[in-house]
Amino acid sequence: MKRFLSLLVVILLAFNIFLALQVQLLNDKVKDLSGSQSTHIVETKVTQFTTDVTEIVDKSLEKVVGVHSYRFNNLYSTGSGAVYKVNDDEILIITNNHVINGADRVDIAFANGVEITGEIMGSDLFTDLALIKVIVDFEVVPFKAGDSALSKVGEWVLAIGSPLGNEFAGSVTMGILSGKDRVVPVDLDNNGVADWDMIVLQTDAAINPGNSGGPLINLAGELIGINSMKIALESVEGMGFAIPINEVVAIMEQLEANGRVIRPVLGVSAVGISEMSIYQKNSYGIQLNQTNGLYITSVVSGSPAQTAGILQGDIIISFDGVEITSFKQFRKLLYGKKVNDLVDIVVSRDGELITARVRLQ
C-alpha cells in the first residue's frame, strides 16, 4: 500500500512538472507572436505613409514654378504657380492675379533651375486668377486636375510653393482640408468695404507670402485648389484658403480663349442701400428704415437696362426672383448669369413695383 501511494505521488509530481513546462512554452510562443505582429503593423503604417507622401512630392515638384513679377525692371512681387496644361513646347501656368497685377514682365522659375520670361495671357480681378504662357525646350508635366467637389473635410493635403521668394522654392507644407465652400469677403478696390465674396477651400497647411498661386494637392497628387490667401492675425493660426480647382478650370478656359473673363452687363451704376449713410438716404429721397435694394444712380445709354425701361432713381428690389440685400450680392448674382440670358428685375419707382424683363449683354 505504501509503495502504491509513493508511486502515485511520483506520477502526480511528474505530471505537474510536465504541465508547468507546457504552460511556460505556450506563454513564450504567445509573447513572441504578439511582439512580432505589433512590430509588423507599426512598420507597415509608417513605411506606407512616408512612401506615399514622398513619392507624391517628388512627382509634383517639377509641376510647380516660381513667379517673379517686374515693373520697370525692378522685382516687386514673387509668388508661385502650377503647370496647368502642356501643348508641345507651350506651357500654361496658373497663378494669382495679385501676384502679376501691374507687371510689365513676368519671369517663370522652373524646378530644374531654368528661368524664362513668360507672357500673361489674361487675368481676372474677381477670382484672383491669372494665366501665363511660357515656351520651353525641355519636358514639363502638368498637374492632373482633381474634383474639388469630391474632396473631403479632414483629408490630408499638401501646399507647395516659394514662401518668401525663390530662396525657399519647392517648400512643402502638409495639413488637412479644414473646410469647403467657405465664403470670404474681399475688398477689391481697397476702399474698406467688401465688394466680392470668394468661395474657397480652407486648410491648415502653412501658407505664407510667396505661396500665392501655388498648388494645393491631395494624396493622389491631384490639383484641387490654387493657394490664394490666409488670415494673418496674431489671434489666428492655421487658416489658409485656396480657390477650388472646379472654379479655376472654368476661368482658365475663358482666359485661354479670350484673354479675359466675359461676364454679362446690365448697364447701370448703383449703390447698395444697406451701405448708405442717413445723409445719403435723405439726399436720394429714400426712406430711412429701408435697408434692402440697390439705388440706381445712372443708366448707360443703349444698355440692356435702358432697353428694358429701367430708369435712374429706380430701386432694384429683386433680381431673377432673389431679393437684393447688398451690391456685393447683386454682382454675384449678375456674374452668375451668361450673356444673352433673360432675367426678371423688379424695381421700385415712386412706391410702385415694376417688373422689367432684361436680356443681358
Q: How is 181-250 classified by DSSP, letter by letter?
A: EEEEEE-SSSSSS--EEEEEEEE-S---TT-TT-EEEETT--EEEEEEEE---TT--S-EEEEEHHHHHH
Q: Which fold has domain 148-258?
A: Thrombin, subunit H (2.40.10)
Instruction: Give the number of C-alpha atoms closer than 13 A to the C-alpha of residue 251, restricted to the C-beta side.
Output: 26
Residues 6+ apart with CB under 8 A from 249: 145
| CATH 2.40.10.10 placement within the chain | 64-135, 148-258
Which CATH architecture fits 268-359? Roll (2.30)
- Is the separation of the CB atoms in 111 and 65 below 8 Å? yes
Q: pLDDT digit of tens for each residue in the chain (361 aa)?
A: 555 555 555 555 555 565 555 556 555 554 554 444 444 444 444 445 555 889 999 999 999 999 999 999 999 999 999 999 999 899 999 999 999 999 999 999 999 999 999 999 999 999 999 999 999 999 999 999 999 999 999 999 999 999 887 788 889 999 999 999 888 888 887 777 777 888 899 999 988 888 999 999 999 999 999 999 877 666 667 788 999 999 999 999 999 999 999 999 999 999 899 888 898 899 888 988 898 999 999 999 999 999 999 999 999 999 999 999 988 899 889 998 999 999 999 999 988 999 999 999 9
What is the CATH number that goes with domain 64-135?
A: 2.40.10.10
Backbone angles phi, psi at 146, to 5 degrees: -85, -160
Q: How far is residue 273's CA from residue 216's CA, in Å, rounded to a whole number?
A: 39
| CATH 2.30.42.10 placement within the chain | 268-359
Strands 315-319, 342-349: pairing kind: antiparallel
Residues with a known catalytic role: 98, 128, 212
Cα 77 to chain center, whole Å?
21
**What pTM was estimated for this model as a whole?**
0.78
Q: How far is residue 82's CA from residue 164's CA, in Å, rounded to a whole number?
A: 17
Q: How is 306-334 classified by DSSP, letter by letter?
A: HHTT--TT-EEEEETTEE---HHHHHHHH
For residue 19, the model assigns a pLDDT of: 54
